[in-house]
Chains A and B, each alone.
Chain A
Amino acid sequence: GESVGLHLPTLSVQEGDNSIINCAYSNSASDYFIWYKQESGKGPQFIIDIRSNMDKRQGQRVTVLLNKTVKHLSLQIAATQPGDSAVYFCAENMRNDMRFGAGTRLTVKP
């Protein structure tokens, strides 16, 4: 079936480096995607979203890139900090719900 998935389950980076978290989706009709951050013991927290009429969207230290040709999106975190350590999920907005990928655990080493 159609689904949203993550390329890598874990990512470890040095503090201050940039992080890139990837996500593949299979529903070519999807037009809205969201990245969430989930810290231990907390609910998913909205980071940034992007609609299919855009290729790139920037927030504070975060950038989301959407490649509709290969059905891929990525989350880039600039100057990664210890507080960025968490699990990151991409989510594909459906008509009445969202479908989450499996998540990537980002660990930031001091």
Chain B
Amino acid sequence: EPEVTQTPSHQVTQMGQEVILRCVPISNHLYFYWYRQILGQKVEFLVSFYNNEISEKSEIFDDQFSVERPDGSNFTLKIRSTKLEDSAMYFCASRVTGDQPQHFGDGTRLSIL
């Protein structure tokens, strides 16, 4: 069964550094998402992306965050200047249409030192 893949599985970065999290959504999916999950808490929406532009973003997704689909397969989340509170699991998700279930990758654990 096709799946969403995310790399790396664990990223350790110094505070203030830039980090790029990578995702390969399921190939025929058109809607792409990033979520964040701080340890022990619920999954929080960051941003949705469709037709090469952001559809919606949450309050968490401030100017330090950006997303990009640089080619036909990858979907990336960039954090420009990381802060300690950015430490979390970051999940990528995709779906075929806006009214179907989202399929999630296994996440990237981001640790900011």
Would you list 19 pairs from A and B whose C-beta atoms are within 8 A, ordered by A residue? A34-B101, A34-B102, A43-B4, A43-B91, A43-B93, A43-B104, A43-B105, A43-B107, A44-B91, A46-B102, A49-B101, A95-B98, A96-B55, A97-B33, A98-B33, A98-B45, A98-B102, A102-B42, A103-B42
In chain A, what residue has the closest Cβ to B92? Answer: A43
* Residue in A45, A49, A97 with the greatest tally of chain B CB atoms within 10 Å: A97
The listed residue with most A CB atoms (<10 A of its CB), out of B41, B55, B99, is B99
CA distance A46 to B4 in the complex (A): 13
CB of A97 within 8 A of CB of B48, answer: yes
Q: Which residues of A contact B93 (CB under 8 A)?
A: 43
**Interface presence of B43 (CB below 8 A):** yes
Closest to A93 in B: B99
Give the docked Cα–Cα distance between A34 and B98 (Å).
Answer: 13
What's the least CB distance linking B35 to chain A, in Å? Answer: 8
Residue B86 at the chain A interface, CB threshold 8 Å: no
Given contacts A96-B56, A100-B43, are A41 and B101 in contact (CB under 8 A)?
no
Count, chain A residues at interface, CB 8 A: 21
Number of interface residues of B (CB under 8 A): 23
**Residues of B in contact with A (beta carbons under 8 Å apart):** 4, 33, 41-45, 48, 50, 55-56, 58, 91, 93, 98-99, 101-107
Contacts of B101 in A (CB 8 A): 34, 46, 49
Chain A residues with Cβ below 8 Å from B106 are 41-43
Complex alpha-carbon distance, A47 and B48, angstroms: 22
A89 touches B43 (CB 8 A): yes
Using CB atoms, name the residue of chain B closest to A97.
B45
Contacts of B98 in A (CB 8 A): 95-96
Contact B42 A101 (CB under 8 A): yes
Instruction: Give the CA-CA distance A96 to B45 in the complex, in Å.
Output: 10
Across the two chains, which residue of chain B brings its CB closest to A49? Answer: B101
